[in-house]
Amino acid sequence: MVLPVVGLEDQPIALTITAGIATPAVGETLSVVVGGLPAGATLSAGTHNADGTWTLTGAQLTGLTLTPPADYHGTLNLSVTAHVDVNGTEASVGASLAVTVVPVADIPNLAVLPVVGLEDQPIALNIAAGIPTPAVGETLTVTVSGVPTGATLSAGTDNHDGTWTLTGAQLSGLTLTPAHDYHGTLTLGVTAQTDLAGVSATTNASLSVTVVPVADVPTLTVLPVVGLEHQPIALTIAAGIPTPAVGETLSVVVSGVPTGATLSAGTDNHDGTWTLTGAQLTGLTLTPPADYSGTLNLGITAHADVAGSTADISANLAVTVLPVADIPNLAVLPVVGLEDQPIALSIAAGLPTPVAGETLSVVVSGVPAGASLSAGTHNADGTWTLTGAQLTGLTLTPVHDYNGTLNLTVTAHAGLNGTDAVASANLAVTVLPVADIPTLAVLPAVGLEDQPIALSIGAGLVSPAVGETLSLVGQRPAGGRHPVRRYRQS
């Protein structure tokens, strides 16, 4: 007797075969031949014959199982024949046995390879999974675990617990985008699972994803600045790397620096550019070319470099250089003049490179009380202030009756944008004395004929100077006998 049986793929299936001899005689034997087994199928007992059949004794039917070929599912139609032999005679009976092999979920195939990609870029994942011998209704799912917060896969369902679930088809072209600015190594868990008729099978693997850092676009802030000609001007430049990686470097290039201008730090590339580190931006100053005023338009570029990748950001920086007062030109020559007369002064002053708004004034000090200049403003402290134009035709009138040498100080002031530059010189003014009108007083005299008559004559120098002389000249009256006489006083 045989009964149809049902079993699971890849599992031993118990066969229901019973056979016997109704009235066994001495020497009578029973054998059972099972045919129709496909290649790869085996019985748990019996002899496997060359023609593919199996021969068993009656005793071997007890507990007999059939293991179908690997991954086989479907129905096997076996033939079972019982043979009885005695004294050279044989009798047989046959039956058909249906063995239904129910498919089960196969352990899926799973292959992963470590991958390398760039920070902030999608990285192709190398995951291959499949069902060795798919059965009707058998499904495949792949779960990727260990996905950090902020990282995403290009396909699948985010389970919001660090895992993503995908179908087999979604593995094609699958990429992982790491969290923003992340670099390092992610170790993902990959589990392939097959499901069929409530039965599942899994395969696990670890997937290493190395995220190579790339240069982030650096931060860069510049502000326009204003400074003075000939003076260091503080530059406002701030640059940095948002999330620096190991080995990532920052450099800043300043371009448009004119010939003659210098920076207080960095390397002069001798092409109008300077290269600096981020640290060198602190306290950075620019000294403009000599006598330059105006606006310099500098280009500022911050470079980030790491692992062979670079990122740049640029900005323009306006540096306004205000002109300052240059030391004025000043030339004086000693002069000589006469007492009580205006004396022309030889003073020349000017601006070397005059710019709009620059002023020139000249201060003359050492002018004694009572002396005066022909132009300018007499200040309360005894000095005189003049414009450049007032130097033309300028004269000094000394104190009345003064003679000697006056030592004047002449200071030229240039003023611009709150700055003052001065040049000074000494000016000797020699005042030569002149003859003053002398004093003279006479009184009428009375005397006797032929007698000396005393004359009342008084004469003198008002303010005698060294070398000044006084002489008196008398004239004989008409009809007089005495000659004219001259008297001299010195």
Residue pair 279/265 in contact by the 8 Å Cβ criterion: no
The CA–CA distances, whole Å, from 226 to 59, 270, 317, 336 equal 111, 25, 11, 49
Per-residue pLDDT band for 78 (boundaries 50, 70, 90) equals: very high
Query: pLDDT tens digit string along 390-403?
Result: 999 999 999 998 99
Q: Which domains does the chain have, with CATH numbers?
A: 2-102 (2.60.40.10), 109-212 (2.60.40.10), 220-322 (2.60.40), 329-432 (2.60.40.10), 439-489 (no CATH)
Query: Is residue 181's pLDDT more than 90?
Result: no
Per-residue pLDDT band for 233 (boundaries 50, 70, 90) equals: very high
Return the SS3 of 281: helix
* Structure-token pair, residue 152: 């995403």
pLDDT the model gives residue 165:
98
Per-residue pLDDT band for 474 (boundaries 50, 70, 90) equals: low
Residues ≥6 apart with Cβ < 8 Å to 322: 226, 227, 228, 229, 293, 417
Query: pLDDT tens digit string along 91-150?
Result: 999 999 999 998 888 899 999 999 999 999 999 999 999 998 888 889 999 999 999 999
Helix/strand/coil percentages in the chain, nearest 5: 0, 50, 45
Query: Is residue 480's pLDDT more than 60?
Result: no
Per-residue b or e along 230-249, where b marks 16 or more CB atoms closer than 10 Å to that residue's CB: bebbebebebebeebbeebe
Percent over 90 (pLDDT), the chain: 73
pLDDT the model gives residue 479:
56
Question: Mean pLDDT across the stretch 461-475?
Answer: 71
What are the E-state strand segments in 146-198? 152-153, 157-158, 164-167, 175-177, 184-196
Question: Mean pLDDT across the stretch 296-323?
Answer: 95
Distance between CA atoms of residues 416 and 50, nearest Å: 119
pLDDT the model gives residue 23:
84
Question: Mean pLDDT across the stretch 68-76?
Answer: 91
